[in-house]
Amino acid sequence: MASSSSNVPATVTGRSQLRKPKSKQENRDDSELLTVPDGWKEPAFSKEDNPRGLLEESSFATLFPKYREAYLKECWPLVQKSLNEHHVNATLDLIEGSMTVCTTKKTFDPYIIIRARDLIKLLARSVSFEQAVRILQDDVACDIIKIGSLVRNKERFVKRRQRLIGPKGSTLKVRKVVLDTMKNIHPIYNIKTLMIKRELAKDSELRSQSWERFLPQFKHKNVNKRKEPKKKTVKKEYTPFPPPQPESQIDKELASGEYFLKASQKKRQKMEAIKAKQAEALSKRQEERNKAFIPPKEKTVVKPKEASIETKIDVAAIKEKVKKAKNKKLGAFTAEELKLKMEANEKKKKTKK
């Protein structure tokens, strides 16, 4: 496969030119040779670069979830049309839930099958066709980052993933930004660094220099203290001697003298121990039953204090008030009120005369 080199600047000299004396152009710094001239663009790969085509057929397949089936049915004619322009076949299998792309005899670009593979991967991962079809262009690339296993806590995962969502659901396109966001570093810090780098790249003098003095240094302040365990284990002092060997059952029997007893005597001791445990358990059970028959302790009744002389109620005075209220009719005047009213009426008559 031959590539066109009409517009590409030559940086490697041939054998015939090695014996020539070095010119001024060859004494340039390596930084000048590595820089790409402004306005230069790599020419597109055409059929003239590979007129014989490919030797063998290549194919890729990927699965898609059930909820993407309806969308893929609608946009699949557009997918086939865009891939046919590059002489690549595409098939959609709704029974197996898979998409397949493969090269043909007319395919001349060997890398187009990789771009077609990325196209069906993006379509399977809920990327719209308008955005996914851009991967077929030479100056566009994609990177699928699996963030499901980076954070264990589901709530933290959802919050940090939400920071990556851009306008209209489009996600940010920088891998470092995505990975740092899942490590609880806000994307605004990395975006600010990228903006500074873009401005520095415009300056021809600073292009070949180190940019560390211009870039901000962000420190992670929210450092969570390690939680101390509730039960603290105290380490024992180190001793070069091994721990003592635990006693076996035979050693215990030798120490207590049971080893020398007969089988009948051992059996009798076991039965006595069992009976003692049974008697103890029976007595405890009987005590619990008897608790229901024990009367509760009665509370001591507190005698009420005698009323003081000042707070005693005058019963006779209350009786007199009740009698007066009975004798008094509803709305009737008292004797004093009647006298005052009669005097007022006489005064009015005198004034009229």
Give the tens place of pLDDT for each residue, 293-347.
Answer: 887 777 776 666 555 554 556 777 777 777 776 665 555 566 677 777 778 878 7
Residues 6+ apart with CB under 8 A from 145: 175, 178, 179
Query: How confident is the model over 148-188, as pLDDT tens digits?
Result: 788 888 888 777 777 765 554 455 557 777 778 877 888 88
pLDDT at 21: 45
Q: Which residue has the higher pLDDT, 337 or 116?
A: 116
pLDDT at 53: 87
Band (pLDDT 50/70/90 cuts) for residue 224 is low
pLDDT at 79: 94
- The rounded percent of the chain whose pLDDT value lies above 90 is 26
Query: How confident is the model over 123-148, as pLDDT tens digits?
Result: 998 889 999 999 999 888 888 878 77
Residues 237-243: what's their mean pLDDT?
Answer: 86
pLDDT at 77 over 90: yes
Residues 207-228: what's their mean pLDDT?
Answer: 73
Helix or strand (DSSP H, E) at 63: strand 59-63
Q: What angle do CA 333, 339, 345 make, to 5 degrees?
A: 100
Q: How far apart are CA 187 and CA 184, in angstroms?
A: 9
Least confident of 53-57, 97-101, 253-257: 253-257
Tell me 222's DSSP state.
-
Sign of the C-alpha dihedral, residues 143, 144, 150, 155? Answer: positive
CB distance 181 to 187 below 8 Å: yes
Nearest Cα residue to 49 out of 109, 127, 118, 138? 109
Residues 185-203: what's their mean pLDDT?
Answer: 84
pLDDT at 10: 36
- Tell me the residue type at 254: L
Helix (H, G, I), strand (E, B) or coil at 70: helix
Band (pLDDT 50/70/90 cuts) for residue 96 is very high
Q: How far apart are CA 88 and CA 109, in angstroms?
A: 10
Q: How far is CA 330 from the centre of its chain?
A: 81
Question: No. of H helices and E strands in the chain?
Answer: 11, 3
pLDDT at 82 over 90: yes
Buried b (16+ CB within 10 A) or exposed e, 160-172: bbebbeeeeeeee
Residue 97: which region, alpha, beta or left (left: phi > 0; alpha: psi -120 to 50)? Answer: left
Residues 6+ apart with CB under 8 A from 54: 103, 107, 108, 110
CATH number of 45-136: 3.30.1370.10
Top-level class of domain 154-205: alpha beta
Tell me 346's DSSP state.
H
Q: Identical fold at 45-136 and 154-205?
A: yes
The domain spans of the chain are 45-136, 154-205
CB distance 92 to 101 below 8 Å: no
pLDDT at 108: 92
pLDDT at 68: 92
